[in-house]
Amino acid sequence: MPRSPLMDLAFGFMPAQIIHAAAEIGLADAFTDGRPMSSTELAKETGAHAPSLHRLLRGLTGLGVVEQRDRDLFSLTAEGRRLRADAPDSIRSLIRLFCGPEVWRTWGDLTETLRTGEYAWERVTGRTPFEFFASGAELSETFNRAMAEHTLDVAPGVIDAHDFGRYGTVADLGGGDGTLLAAILRAYPGLRGVLFDLPAGLAAAPGTLADVADRAEIVPGDFFASVPGGADAYVLKSVIHDWHDAKAAAILRNVRAAMRPDARLILLEQMMPEIVAPESAGIVRNDLNMLVATGGRERTEAEYRDLLDGAGFAVVALTGPLPPAAYHVIEATPA
């Protein structure tokens, strides 16, 4: 009887936890000067148990994160270097977040969510996800850095796809540490920016925006209450998908109330196809993550148009999918 491919999928939790453990103990950062190192040396740097770490290193070899040079000598691969905190294309915080214990427990409660329709995060942690990650400095830092790592990957495609030079001032709502706004301001030296988020989300913003600080204003606030007025364009990246329709519409109505008639709304979101196929697996998994983690959803083009129409907007342009993460730029005006 041939082996079912479902078996490999069922045991997919093992590679995820191997990589998460490496990220959590800072293993990639322990490789100094790019030289091969033994499990004993690495254990001293990471505080790990050397024999156990040796077994993990063999597991990481099978995943292409490290290369085994001798019986107890390992070197970091190019992909493994992305687990370093100081790598320009680091994904360490993303892995610490999405393979961490809270997300793990939330996905483990998927069956109950299917039975009830209620998202799992609050059920398993006792708090909403945003309350949870704002509750401690380390949690907040991991979340904010993970979002920044993802945004850093997405920003070049967004800047190539949309002409931000049309505007005088761009407001990035829910923009976290300002990674996207900083990239936009660097690409358009004549542009001014406003970064708006909850105080916990803005903690690292002064450092991120340091080189464009003379053109960037950092404004704490809650977009469920109000948003700053006066901008020419309002950008929301990966914000609307976090919320169910009623809360998403509330955010959009507050943006609409702050906008001048000639201002633009720019949504940056992935878009669910009407009919999914194997190549849609990434966005489908994202949608299921929203189902268990936030109560939000990934939406189709028609669903975004309906949501925007109900909040007082008219879609005027749609661009995408953009590499590498298949985002779309949805441009809308006040109706």
pLDDT in tens, 7-38: 999 999 999 999 999 999 999 999 988 899 99
Task: Look at residue 90 and give its three-state secondary structure.
Answer: coil
CA 62 to chain centre: 27
Is residue 2 pLDDT above 90, yes or no? no
**Contact in structure between 326 and 161 (CB atoms under 8 Å):** no
pTM: 0.93
d(CA 71, CA 34) in angstroms, rounded, equals 18
**Residue 34 pLDDT:** 83
Query: Which alpha helices (H) appear in the chain, and where do they start and end?
Result: 5-10, 13-24, 27-30, 39-46, 50-62, 92-98, 101-108, 110-116, 120-125, 129-133, 137-161, 179-187, 205-208, 245-258, 281-293, 301-310
d(CA 150, CA 82) in angstroms, rounded, equals 13
Catalytic residues: 241
Instruction: For residues 285-298, give the mean pLDDT.
Output: 97
**Contact in structure between 82 and 95 (CB atoms under 8 Å):** no
**Contact in structure between 216 and 197 (CB atoms under 8 Å):** no
Residue with tokens 């990246």: 237
Instruction: For residues 116-122, give the mean pLDDT.
Output: 96
Peptide bond preceding 321 in cis form (omega within 30 of 0) = yes
Q: Residue 91 burial by CB count (10 A; 0-12/13-18/19+): exposed, middle or buried?
A: buried
